[in-house]
Structure 1
């Protein structure tokens, strides 16, 4: 599982950098100077993707979090939440730059992504708590 966590961090780094590039190039091509969600897309990917999974990688090495019952649900729900959240942000931001209305459905989808991320964080903290309270002790190497 350590390699999966590592590759998740790498992929979010790449996506974050591409998100920043997309924002810069689209706004430059359309001479857009207003506010858009694309401006924070790359920071969401880098902070909530790269940094979170680098921290999870350290926690995995220290506490063997992947051996808890809640880790796999955390791992996959977190990715789902990220895809929905940043996907909604990307669509909303792109429509803004193009001068089109996005409607409430896009905001609702991004909100759903945030709810899924919240559930994923609860699962992460549940697994971490199980480890630090010795309810699921780390196996000796």
Structure 2
């Protein structure tokens, strides 16, 4: 439970910092175009803060962490996926604001983050299934 709560706090702080970074960097460089930085704030708040608030409630209801190994896999895969993806959004967006070219390597690395995020979500859905439909109850019914 503490891990989930602290995840909410950290993602909220990162989301707010990302919004500030976007605003200040674009203002400092008089940038008015499109940049990946504009979505970092919302990615962190939605995929981090809101998602982990929901997981916190589901943990309270279904004790998802009872499957310790599976829960650890979910937690780390998902967090690494979100942070990896966001890191490359920041790199790509910052380079755009600074007028630098970005190549396919940055897009590929961001894609790897999305793959990790997807794997984390799949493991989460397995955990959720086990929490909602525990085997012991299913066998008794």
- TM-score class, shorter: over 0.9
Match in the other structure for 1:111: 111
Distance 2:53 2:102 in 1: 33
Provide, for residues 9-42 of structure 1, a one-character-per-residue CA deviation record: whole Å limited to 9, x for no partner. Answer: 1000000000000000000000000000000000
Distance 2:31 2:62 in 1: 47
Poorly superposed stretches of 4+, deviation over 4 Å = none
TM-score for both structures, normalised by structure 1: 0.93
Q: Which ranges in structure 2 are unaligned for 5 or more consecutive residues?
A: none
Answer yes or no: is the 8 Å Cα contact 1:130–1:136 preserved in 2.
Answer: no
Give the C-alpha shift of residue 135 in structure 1.
Answer: 2.2
The structure richer in helix per residue is 2
Match in the other structure for 1:134: 134
Give the C-alpha shift of residue 136 in structure 1.
Answer: 6.5
Mapping of residues 45-56 of structure 1, within 5 Å: 45-56=44-55
Distance 2:18 2:49 in 1: 13
Answer yes or no: is the 8 Å Cα contact 1:37–1:92 preserved in 2.
Answer: yes
Distance 2:15 2:112 in 1: 21
Match in the other structure for 1:5: 4
2:135 alignment partner, SS class = coil
Mapping of residues 1-141 of structure 1, within 5 Å: 2-68=1-67, 69-135=69-135
Q: CA RMSD in A?
A: 1.1
Range 121-130 or range 63-72, more displaced: 63-72
Distance 1:31 1:135 in 2: 59
TM-score for both structures, normalised by structure 2: 0.93
